[in-house]
Structure 1
Amino acid sequence: MLTKHRNLRTGRSVWQGERPPRFPKQGITADTESDVVIIGAGISGAMQADMLSEAGFSVLVVDRRGPVRGSTPASTALLQYEIDQPLIKLTRQIGDEAAIRAWRRSRLAVDGLGARVRALSIAPVIRRDSLYLAGDVLDAEGLGREYEARRRAGLETALLDAAALKEDFGIDRDAALLGYDNLEADPVVLATGFLRAAVARGARIAWPVEIVDLDAGPRSVSLRTKDGHRIRCRYLVFATGYELPFGEIPKGHRVLSTWALATVPQKGNLWPRCCFIWEASDPYLYLRTTRDGRVICGGEDEDFVDEDRRDALLGRKVKALQRKLGKLLPEVSTEVDYSWTGTFGASTTGLPTIGPMPGLKNCWTVMGFGGNGITYSRVGAEIVRAGLTGKGDPDAELYAFRS
């Protein structure tokens, strides 16, 4: 077993309200080969398949569940460039130059993702601003320092005091930062669109297929399926989300539990500009809207991965989210239509681990840890494509494995 099996989510997310995406069910029935094998057919694997098939590689995507059936439907999909770790705090961890590069790369990733979605006509691109509220991580004074740091990094940001925040958004907090031009999306639609684009270029999707063993050599990688068939490839890419390769968590990373809800449609009650809202707190509350006027509210993260315990807390956590949502935005209905819980990953820097796997030739992984999972999936697709085509990525060392 190459990856640690987890019960990744429970409940029904808002993205599962529509008919699920359909891909022909086809396993591996004989030995086969491909330039690249991608393990995982969620949003990260889908972006890898899209970019690598476009780069001219033959691509085989395998998944033990099926396409878009893991963590992706549990994502709340606030596609932001803002990293969980404030720029001023990340600077103290990894240095000024590296921290600025990481924030700028996230900005580029969001823009690149939006452009890619448009280029492939996957879905309408909806831009949303982002409101970052003062909390127990950064108070009003701290937000002022963060504002100066972001502006110095070339990231357009506005600093709102309590009066402006109340007047413009009806929110009672000491201060907030307003960022611009993030993306609102349905993660299932995105993943499905990227997979279909790859299939149109000749990529194959095989499921249910479980890889149980690998032999990584200097020129190729040999894989063995649970059914005993062999797959040979030049490169292997793990895009398995929180089901970690060999069950090993990279240094500075941890796996958590998180909870979320989606309200009934209520377009008449939504806040001005329907911007993303999140807090400079730990754990933080975060909000977004959907095209049909629902409010998605998530948070209440806890530092454990016991699925039974996580699931048992769903009712209590949803009530806590309702209370917080009602207190922050009294005009919004907190009546719940969907609720769900899932496994989530975080890191001490807010940055993911992406790159070649230590000790395994020709094997790469994309671990989208941090609150920017889909944004980091885009970064991962860019870095892996650059590595496999021999061009290299100027920011690859920011995300490399740490010993």
Structure 2
Amino acid sequence: MWSNSATQPRDLRSGTPVWLKQGRRGGLGTAPDDDLSAEVAIIGGGISGALLADAALSAGRSVLVLDRRGFALGSTAASTALLQFELDLPLTHLIRRIGRERAARAWWRSASAVDALRGRIADLGLRCGFRERHTAYLPGNILDDAGLRAEAEARARIGLRSRHVGREELHALTGIARPGAVWSAGAAEADPVTLTRGLWRSALSRGARLVAPAEVTGIETTARGVTLRLGGGTTVKARHLALATGYELAPLLRPRGYRIISTWAMATRPQPSRLWPSRCLIWEAADPYLYLRSTADGRILVGGEDADFADEATRDRLIPRKIATLRRKLAALLPGVDTEPDFAWAGCFGASATSLPAIGPMPGEDRCFAVLGFGGNGITFSVIAAQIFGRWLLGLADPDRDVFGFGPH
């Protein structure tokens, strides 16, 4: 039995993300009324919850979703939505951590998740700015150019679409003056809020019930099902529960090696004539790292400067300083672009020791499934979580449960 708040309340973001430039968007959920029931209850109205709901509906289950704010208004709105298969931890480093075979499976599953998301978007007819992109992985204090050559070779050996490019080719593709980079195919970009809202509208059209605002104040599990208590006295009964609460962790979810950090991002004014030729996703093998992409209307979206999370007030006070640093780094990388921010925001972010998420049935709670999609591949990990969740509901084992589960990585 869990009491008080089922998850830790947290101010997940501050400022205005570019995806909310037309204002806060609500209207998808209804307030709880009488007692409710469904085969599957999901807590969390972001991208992870939306993809889990899609998987549960595809498995033929009735679905009820609860969120304390509203749908797609938490961490999802703060995402920069670089849909990469590349993990935060280089393949060569992950091999040393967890072994070649498991590291290869983690990277391959991440690559296939981008393809799966593209297919699901097409199946549902969602219009969310999804575009396939290449990525350029630049040298930094984690991997220099020699390290990037070894990284490209390691990826190519397991069949991933990566190769090393030298200074001249990199400059032709990006306008960046660096010794070289790992150039990869198989990434994408999207508007995360429009994508998530499209998934929720699809879920509604297939019979899902979306409830918000709804504060879950207690959870009781038995061998036969799960009972949720909501503020105001409403009760929810379900056969299975999925926690997709992102960085607002449940009290029982404290796996070793996972932590909450702060991150900052900005979007420039539209400048399509100044963008790099390939419009690829760009990031550095550095800590703290820099990453950038373009948007459909020609903005440059820049993020990074991650730091350990202290509290929301400290994170928010750092916004001017962190945005100034991002501007300096952008100007050094791409001289001549306009670095003036049109939007700036801060948010919570998750990190793990291996850059891998924790996804699967909760230890000791056979009726409960949880998603800790920590690391820089949040949306990609959400796709993997939905695949594992759908199989779990059908009583099928996932072939990579040892890589992504709650056991030691």
Relative to the length of structure 1, the TM-score reads: 0.98
Cα distance, 1:248 vs structure 2: 4.0
Work out which of the residue numbers 28, 50, 53 in structure 2 matches 1:49: 53
Q: Structure 1: which amino acid aligns with 2:51?
A: M
Residue 90 of structure 1: aligned partner: 94
Residue aligning to 2:122: 118
> Shift of the alpha carbon at 1:186?
0.3
* 1:291 paired to 2:296: yes
Q: CA–CA distance in 2 between the matches of 1:305 and 1:118?
A: 40
Residue type of the alignment partner of 1:46: A
Task: Say yes or no: does 1:356 pair with 2:361.
Answer: yes
> Are the aligned partners of 1:42 and 1:191 in contact in 2 as well (CA < 8 Å)?
yes
Aligned partners of 1:189, 1:333: CA distance in 2, in Å? 26
Residue number in structure 2 paired with 1:266: 271
Which consecutive aligned stretches of 4+ in structure 1 deviate over 6 angstroms post-superposition? none
1:80 aligns with 2:101: no
| Count of residue correspondences | 403
Partner of residue 319, structure 2: 314
- Following TM superposition, by how much is the alpha carbon of 1:135 offset from its aligned partner in structure 2, in angstroms? 0.7
**Does the alignment pair 1:216 with 2:221?**
yes
| Paired residue type of 2:261 | L
SS at match of 2:159: coil
> What's the CA shift for 1:167?
3.6
CA distance in 2 between partners of 1:90 and 1:397 (Å): 15
Query: Aligned pair 1:28/2:29, yes or no?
Result: no
Distance 1:150 1:24, change over 3 A: closer
1:17 aligns with 2:21: yes
User: Helix, strand or coil for the counterpart of 2:278?
Assistant: helix
* 8 Å CA contact 2:50, 2:196 repeated in 1: yes
Counterpart of 2:332?
Answer: 327
Task: Tell me the residue number matched to 1:225.
Answer: 230
Alignment partner for residue 252 of structure 1, among 257, 282, 287? 257
Judge conservation of contact 1:305–1:343 (CA < 8 Å) in 2: no
Tell me the equivalent position of 2:308. Answer: 303
1:54 and 1:198 in contact (8 A); partners too: no
Give the letter aligned to residue 171 of structure 2.
K
Give SS of 1:76's match. coil
The 3-state SS of whatever aligns with 2:366 is coil
Cα deviation 1:133-158 (Å, max 9, x = unaligned): 01110011111111111001100112
Give the structure 2 partner of residue 71 of structure 1: 75
Q: CA deviation at 1:114?
A: 0.7
In the alignment, the residues of structure 1 paired with residue 162 and residue 405 of structure 2 have an alpha-carbon distance, to the nearest angstrom, of: 29
Give the percent of matched residue pairs that are identical in Structure 1 and Structure 2: 49
Query: Which letter maps to 2:352?
Result: S
Q: Are the structure 2 counterparts of residues 234 and 383 from structure 1 closer, same or farther at C-alpha, using a change threshold of 3 Å?
A: same
Q: Is the 8 A contact 2:265 2:344 kept in 1?
A: yes
Aligned position for 2:352: 347
Unaligned 5+ segments in structure 2 are none
Q: Is the 8 A contact 1:257 1:302 kept in 2?
A: yes
Structure 1 residue 50, shift from structure 2 partner? 1.2
Does residue 99 in structure 1 map to residue 103 in structure 2? Answer: yes
Native 8 Å contact 1:37 1:233 kept in 2: yes
CA distance in 2 between partners of 1:347 and 1:397 (Å): 16
Distance between the aligned counterparts of 2:295 and 2:173, measured in 1? 21
Conserved? CA contact 1:170–1:329, under 8 Å: yes
Question: Aligned residue for 1:148?
Answer: 153
Secondary structure of the corresponding residue to residue 288 of structure 1: strand
SS of structure 1 residue aligned to 2:110: helix
Cα 1:217–1:341 shift into 2, 3 Å: same
Which segment drifts farther, 228-237 or 263-272?
228-237
Q: Does 1:207 align with 2:212?
A: yes
What is the alpha-carbon distance in structure 2 between the residues aligned to residue 160 and residue 243 of structure 1? 40
Q: Report if aligned partners of 2:153, 2:163 keep a CA contact under 8 Å in 1.
A: no
Structure 2 length as normaliser, TM-score? 0.96
2:244 to 229, 239, 244: 239
Residue type at the aligned position of 1:239: A
How much does 1:173 deviate? 1.4
CA–CA distance in structure 1, aligned partners of residues 141 and 293 of structure 2: 21
> Secondary structure at the residue paired with 1:103?
helix
Is contact 1:64–1:209 with CA below 8 Å preserved after alignment? yes
Say whether the 8 Å CA contact 1:118–1:125 is kept in structure 2: no
CA drift of 1:164 comes to 2.6
